[in-house]
A and B are shown apart, each in its own frame.
Chain A
Amino acid sequence: MTVYSDEIVCAPRAGTLYDVLELILDRGMVIDVFVRVSLVGIEILKVDARIVVASVDTYLRFAEACNRLDLEHDSRSKTVPELFGGPVARTVGKAGAKRTARSLTDKVRDVLTPDQGDDEADDTARDDADDALTERAARPARKRRSDDDRPRPRRRKAEED
């Protein structure tokens, strides 16, 4: 499993492949006398990589955290880090939400992040984007069991501004 640094990243870094995926796949020069191979499944892969957390699961998590807040006193609730599962209040929320989104985003990251070592067999299996898609297909069914309605992560657009 990939471990993330949740601190604010200021130092120079090459970036994980995930960070530059859209650049490599969507930007860059295309000259039309050349041929761009159609990458089957890649559109789905990209969409999955950015499917968002805004599901009922997430909402309930927010509500739970909020219900533990002390609404009457202006002090930080100690339960927030606990709920989102991390040591530092300011960044744990991110970790928690990521966990909610683990189904897709992290799966794709796991597949694409080149920090898994070079174990050949493992690499070959994880290497293949299609494997991520297979995992994805299995996911909604599992989620459905835990939620009564609207269980799937929805593709959401920036709709508020």
Chain B
Amino acid sequence: MTATAALTTAGTLGTLYVYGIAPAGIRTPRAPGVAGAEVRLLTEGGLCAAVSDAPASVRARRRDLTAHQAVLGELLAQGPVLPMRFAVLTPDAQALCGQLRSDRAHLAAQLDAVRDCVELNVKGTVVPGYFADLVRRDEALRALARRTRERPGYEANVRLGEALAKGVAREARSAARDVLARLGPLAVRSVQGPVDDEQVLSTSFLVRSADEERFRQAVAERARAVGDRLTLGVTGPLPCYSFVDAPYAPAGR
């Protein structure tokens, strides 16, 4: 915490905000960086890092999150990039270059692993309206609905509603499993994100750029097939946030 505080207050004294690491020789991103700072490249040993002067403090503002994303987008458009997580700072250029030098082999291998690939993030949300189909199909639910009508009341309604809510979520989860099974073979790797009762599918796929169109078509095809139960959306192409290892990060990350 004190280290963080010292760094953030040292914003004007050489602290740099790091966006990502790419092979040397690329064009400097034109998009403004976090807090509107100019982005520049630091090159060392065949690699370069996109950086800008760190602002006095970093917060998860919409504008800054977007800037982080925009800079990485420009890098991605030029080739492989290792995106840093939002709000990563390095004490100064020297420390960064030292890191590029000492970790060069590992970083280069990571770049190779995402070369010609993009991340596509697929999210799926429950379609609540599907409850009507469930009631028509499921005798037990229909019986519960009838009983609720015969003996209406707050508790009865809550019980019925809960059964329906759980039913549509269960159906959506089942559809999500089907979607995953179909999309998995089209991707190099996949990583699951957080899910809950509304967003039952959130998975990132590492997809070869050449296969992106095919992958999208598969998503569209699945969206039609399961659309009554699960609403699908795909976001990307994104820098491969989910497919870069954090070599020295604490365990469990």
Q: Whole-angstrom distance between the alpha carbons of A97 and B125 in the complex? A: 11
Please name 6 further chain A to chain B contacts, defined as beta carbons within 8 Å, in addition to the given A35-B4, A63-B164, sorted by A numbering. Answer: A10-B234, A15-B233, A29-B244, A50-B199, A77-B132, A93-B130
Number of interface residues of B (CB under 8 A): 104
Q: Whole-angstrom distance between the alpha carbons of A67 and B229 in the complex? A: 20
Chain A contacts for B249, CB-based, 8 A: 30-32
A 45-90 contacts with B by CB, 8 A:
45, 50, 52-54, 56, 58-67, 69, 71, 74, 76-77, 80-81, 84, 89-90
Chain B contacts for A13, CB-based, 8 A: 233-235
Is B247 an interface residue when CB atoms closer than 8 A count as contact?
yes
Instruction: Give B contacts to A, CB under 8 Å.
Output: 1, 3-4, 7-8, 18, 20-21, 57-63, 65-66, 68-69, 82-91, 95-96, 98-99, 103, 110, 119, 121, 123, 125-132, 135-136, 142, 145-146, 148-149, 152, 154, 156-158, 160-162, 164-166, 168-170, 173, 191, 193-200, 202, 204, 216, 219-220, 223-224, 227-228, 231-236, 238-239, 241-242, 244-250, 253
* Shortest CB distance B136–A (Å): 6
Contact partner, B18, options A15, A34, A112, Cβ 8 Å: A34
Instruction: Give A contacts to B, CB under 8 Å.
Output: 6, 8-10, 12-15, 17, 19-42, 45, 50, 52-54, 56, 58-67, 69, 71, 74, 76-77, 80-81, 84, 89-94, 96-97, 101, 111-114, 123, 126-130, 148, 155-158, 160-161
User: Taking A25-B60, A90-B227, A93-B127 as contacts, is the C-beta distance between A32 and B248 under 8 angstroms?
Assistant: yes
Chain B contacts for A9, CB-based, 8 A: 223, 231-234
Q: Whole-angstrom distance between the alpha carbons of A65 and B129 in the complex? A: 9
- The winner among A45, A63, A91, A160 for most chain B CB atoms within 10 A is A63
Chain B contacts for A28, CB-based, 8 A: 83-86, 239, 241, 244
Contact A94 B125 (CB under 8 A): yes
Q: Whole-angstrom distance between the alpha carbons of A108 and B69 in the complex? A: 18
Contact partner, B197, options A27, A37, A52, Cβ 8 Å: A52
Q: Whole-angstrom distance between the alpha carbons of A38 and B248 in the complex? A: 17
Chain A contacts for B152, CB-based, 8 A: 67
In this complex, what residue of B is CB-closest to A84?
B129
In this complex, what residue of B is CB-closest to A123?
B63
* Shortest CB distance A147–B (Å): 10
Chain B contacts for A36, CB-based, 8 A: 85, 87-89
Contact partner, A20, options B121, B161, B220, Cβ 8 Å: B121
Chain A contacts for B156, CB-based, 8 A: 63
Contact B162 A37 (CB under 8 A): no
Chain B contacts for A77, CB-based, 8 A: 132
Contact A29 B84 (CB under 8 A): yes
Contact A34 B90 (CB under 8 A): yes
Q: Whole-angstrom distance between the alpha carbons of A10 and B66 in the complex? A: 23
Q: Whole-angstrom distance between the alpha carbons of A31 and B97 in the complex? A: 13
* Shortest CB distance B117–A (Å): 15
